[in-house]
Amino acid sequence: MSPQAGWILQEEIVPRLRSAIPKCVRCVGAEDHEELVQDATALATKMLHNLEVRGKQVTPGNVAYYTIQHAKSGRRSTGSSRVDVMGSTTQLNGSTILHSFSEVVAGDDGQGEPLALQDVISNDREDPATVAARKMDWDRFLDQLSRVERLVVEFLSAGKTLREAGRKVGAHVDEGG
């Protein structure tokens, strides 16, 4: 982008975006108007660059107008898919609705607490792949230990004492403490 186009962007287009976007562009999800102004600035920069490459001349008002129209329709500098369920376009046209995991979905969980979406969806069981990987790592670890070391680890992981492990291997254990 040329210095002249950068100056036009900074002095003529961005002020128009700052004044118009809070009044006419709906925020989606966690967006706020300042973020939308930044995103629209990126859209306008790309638009100016493309116009400059093609040798086209347009007014700063036209660039600001079409940038605002893009923002209103859900286009963002990062993309504007009509099939992305988390995309602003699908939310603006009503195809999808995002809900917070903290949103209350039922009146009571039986203990006097409201039931949130995260409580309904959560699964307290471990992922089978994680369990299998941990078992493979544990087996490899145990294979590297001597018989006595393996016995100590197994006794301690079962909540038993070293004294009990010592008795198992026939070691003399001093009971004096």
pLDDT of residue 80: 65
User: What pLDDT does residue 31 have?
Assistant: 77
Counting Cα atoms < 13 Å in the Cβ hemisphere of 147 gives 4
CA dist 85 and 87 (Å) reads 6
> What predicted TM-score, i.e. pTM, was given to this entire model?
0.51
- Mean pLDDT in residue range 96-122: 74
Angle at 114 between CA 108 and CA 119, to 5 degrees: 100
pLDDT digits (tens, 9 = 90+) for 12-25: 999 999 999 999 98
153 falls in which pLDDT band (50, 70, 90)? confident
User: What whole-number distance in Å separates Cα of residue 34 and Cα of residue 43?
Assistant: 14
Write down the pLDDT at residue 54.
Answer: 92
Location of structure tokens 């893009």: 70
Q: Give the model's pLDDT for residue 65.
A: 94
| Residues ≥6 apart with Cβ < 8 Å to 5 | 48, 49, 52
pLDDT digits (tens, 9 = 90+) for 45-63: 999 999 999 998 889 999 9
Report pLDDT for 83.
66
Most confident of 27-36, 49-58, 103-112, 147-156: 49-58
Stretch 120-124: mean pLDDT? 71
User: Mean per-residue pLDDT for 115-132?
Assistant: 78
